[in-house]
Chains A and B, each alone.
Chain A
């Protein structure tokens, strides 16, 4: 179902006019309210009024995640804190997350876009939505929640974890839409079987899966094991949260970007050059309606391509293909973003640990498993087993506390971590997605 026919099926020429008007307002707001953006414009001798077309956007410099970190916590906000009603954050380097804010209107916009996304994924106001995305600082849980209420559906705010209880609720409440990370959804299906239940007897029709990369192969697996139609949702907290782009269940072929709120570009990650439709590169977003936290040419580091072909669902918004990778070393572990450098800063807080470590990611029973190998140098070494085991436990505890991700820590011999050209190989990802 198309929730907002006016905007979602708007002819391109009209859409571009809407975009231009909104872009202009966003640039003005950013320039006059965010010192960072003002400095960026000034450095390039550009004024907001110099941007006269969507193509002119290319004249503006990019914004990177590091810029957000440099302005921690609220330096990128374009409104006074009086007008901010919500703050979300994604995990960051040792206690320093990337912080985003929303005005009341931003929350309304987000709810509306999430409602659009749920509708595109097959949900209606008659549905019961089992929302297994994590609630909290992470945008997944609350994003879907507000969208579900906006749509008028019944939402079960079950959040992540406590798998057995989830199965009981699925059986007893009869939810018809599942929202979760795809790996957790597969885990749920196996947990159900272990409890003598099966998704075959549950009432799910659609599953809306995101927050981590997945593949067509996984779609097949999800649909077969969960007895539902699986669709892909995309978003990131810096741009808004879930609901930046959504796959329609009619075509199941790429995610419509809500272009009346976000302008996408694909760039060559090395040169910054904008690439034509169809070519694969890094996805860049400019928000054009957000008040509290506008982003201008924000580099997502996600690799994909844009498809302008008309879609059978009737939406005119451009489609992005599945995210196929990253241009940085970010890992997504059970939906949580993890950079190797974050693990490194946790390790560096321990006395005697040398920066020789390696992250090994695996998928066991459909759940991501992170193992951190740490080389035992002279300073860390003890001739007592319990001292070394305590060390392993403490590192693991701090990783959990700072990054919100469970990791098994294993001590290994010095120089045992493979080094290529003298540089340690930081990440080995065994997951086959």
Chain B
């Protein structure tokens, strides 16, 4: 069920993000989703790409610190309250969202969002019990 996410440590300096996109572009890797969390001096770039192993390798070869994290892709109904319903369920179950961001592509007319929970197992159980569609990892990379 889980989606493999790549994260990259970046200093807050002009051109660092472009450096990463340039490396991925040269390696013919397609970015499926991307988010940056930043502080005043550094940022963490989180990426879902179509070829994880290759992306990890080319970034490491270029000297970046690369991490791998399992996240979950969830279909979110594209209507008012769609996201709220899911977050309410999670809150009720005491599950904390570490971070989340959305993918550009849609699936079954729904928005697709990437979540990182403090307790992924519990989150998956809860989502399944409430019939919320979780997208299989392998599919996400090719979406």
Chain A positions near chain B (C-beta within 8 angstroms): 376-378, 380-385, 388-389, 410-416
Interface check B129, CB cutoff 8 A: no
Query: Which residue of the partner chain, among A383, A389, A413, contacts B67 with CB atoms under 8 Å?
Result: A383
Give the distance in Å from the alpha carbon of A381 to the alpha carbon of B42 in the complex. Answer: 12
Give the distance in Å from the alpha carbon of A114 to the alpha carbon of B66 in the complex. Answer: 58
Q: Are A378 and B46 in contact (CB under 8 A)?
A: no
Q: A378-B65, A412-B11 are in contact. List 18 more A-B contacts (CB 8 A).
A: A377-B65, A378-B66, A378-B67, A381-B7, A381-B67, A382-B44, A382-B67, A383-B116, A384-B44, A385-B38, A388-B9, A388-B39, A410-B41, A413-B16, A413-B64, A414-B64, A415-B63, A416-B11
Q: How far is the CB of A111 from chain B (nearest CB, A)?
A: 48
Interface check B53, CB cutoff 8 A: no
Q: Chain B residues near A415: list those with CB within 8 A.
A: 63
28 A-B contacts (beta carbon < 8 Å):
A376-B9, A376-B42, A376-B65, A377-B65, A378-B65, A381-B7, A381-B65, A381-B67, A383-B5, A383-B7, A383-B67, A384-B37, A384-B44, A384-B98, A385-B37, A385-B38, A385-B44, A388-B44, A410-B42, A411-B9, A413-B9, A413-B10, A413-B65, A414-B9, A414-B63, A414-B64, A414-B65, A416-B11
Q: Chain B residues near A388: list those with CB within 8 A.
A: 9, 39, 42, 44
Contacting residues of chain B (51-100) with chain A, CB-CB under 8 angstroms: 63-67, 69, 98-99
Residue of chain A at shortest CB distance from B98: A384
Q: How far is the CB of A419 from chain B (nearest CB, A)?
A: 12
Q: Chain B residues near A389: list those with CB within 8 A.
A: 39
> B interface, by DSSP: helix, strand, loop or mixed?
strand
- Most A CB within 10 A of own CB, among B42, B69, B116: B42
Q: Are B69 and A383 in contact (CB under 8 A)?
A: yes
Q: Chain A residues near B63: list those with CB within 8 A.
A: 413-415
Q: Chain B residues near A412: list those with CB within 8 A.
A: 11, 42
Query: 1/0 per residue B36-50: CB within 8 Å of A?
Result: 011101101010000
Contacting residues of chain B (1-20) with chain A, CB-CB under 8 angstroms: 5, 7, 9-11, 16
Give the distance in Å from the alpha carbon of A415 to the alpha carbon of B11 in the complex. Answer: 12
Q: How far is the CB of B132 from chain A (nearest CB, A)?
A: 23
Q: How far is the CB of A352 from chain B (nearest CB, A)?
A: 11
Q: Are A411 and B7 in contact (CB under 8 A)?
A: no
Q: How far is the CB of A411 from chain B (nearest CB, A)?
A: 5
Give the distance in Å from the alpha carbon of A384 to the alpha carbon of B44 in the complex. Answer: 8
Chain B positions near chain A (C-beta within 8 angstroms): 5, 7, 9-11, 16, 37-39, 41-42, 44, 46, 63-67, 69, 98-99, 116
Q: Chain A residues near B116: list those with CB within 8 A.
A: 383
Give the distance in Å from the alpha carbon of A412 to the alpha carbon of B63 in the complex. Answer: 12
Q: How far is the CB of A87 from chain B (nearest CB, A)?
A: 41
Q: Chain B residues near A380: list those with CB within 8 A.
A: 65
Q: How far is the CB of A422 from chain B (nearest CB, A)?
A: 15
Q: Chain B residues near A384: list those with CB within 8 A.
A: 37, 44, 98-99
Give the distance in Å from the alpha carbon of A381 to the alpha carbon of B116 in the complex. Answer: 16
Give the distance in Å from the alpha carbon of A381 to the alpha carbon of B43 in the complex. Answer: 11
Q: Are A383 and B44 in contact (CB under 8 A)?
A: yes
Give the distance in Å from the alpha carbon of A276 to the alpha carbon of B98 in the complex. Answer: 68
With A376-B65, A378-B66: A411-B42 Cβ-Cβ less than 8 Å: yes
Give the distance in Å from the alpha carbon of A378 to the alpha carbon of B63 in the complex. Answer: 10
Residue of chain A at shortest CB distance from B65: A381
With A378-B66, A378-B67, A414-B64: A385-B11 Cβ-Cβ less than 8 Å: no
Q: How far is the CB of B124 from chain A (nearest CB, A)?
A: 19
- Most B CB within 10 A of own CB, among A388, A410, A413: A413
Residue of chain B at shortest CB distance from A415: B63
Q: Chain B residues near A410: list those with CB within 8 A.
A: 41-42
Q: Chain A residues near B64: list those with CB within 8 A.
A: 413-414
Give the distance in Å from the alpha carbon of A58 to the alpha carbon of B16 in the complex. Answer: 58
Query: Which residue of the partner chain, among B16, B37, B41, B67, contacts A411 with CB atoms under 8 Å?
Result: B41
Give the distance in Å from the alpha carbon of A381 to the alpha carbon of B98 in the complex. Answer: 16
Q: How far is the CB of B65 from chain A (nearest CB, A)?
A: 4
- Most B CB within 10 A of own CB, among A383, A385, A415: A383
With A389-B39, A410-B41: A383-B46 Cβ-Cβ less than 8 Å: yes
Q: Chain A residues near B66: list those with CB within 8 A.
A: 378, 381
Q: Are A381 and B11 in contact (CB under 8 A)?
A: no
Give the distance in Å from the alpha carbon of A414 to the alpha carbon of B8 in the complex. Answer: 11
Give the distance in Å from the alpha carbon of A385 to the alpha carbon of B42 in the complex. Answer: 9
Q: Chain A residues near B10: list those with CB within 8 A.
A: 413
Give the distance in Å from the alpha carbon of A96 to the alpha carbon of B100 in the complex. Answer: 46
The 8 closest A-B pairs by CB, nearest first: A383-B7, A381-B65, A376-B9, A415-B63, A385-B37, A383-B69, A381-B67, A376-B65
Q: Chain A residues near B69: list those with CB within 8 A.
A: 383
Q: Chain B residues near A385: list those with CB within 8 A.
A: 37-39, 44
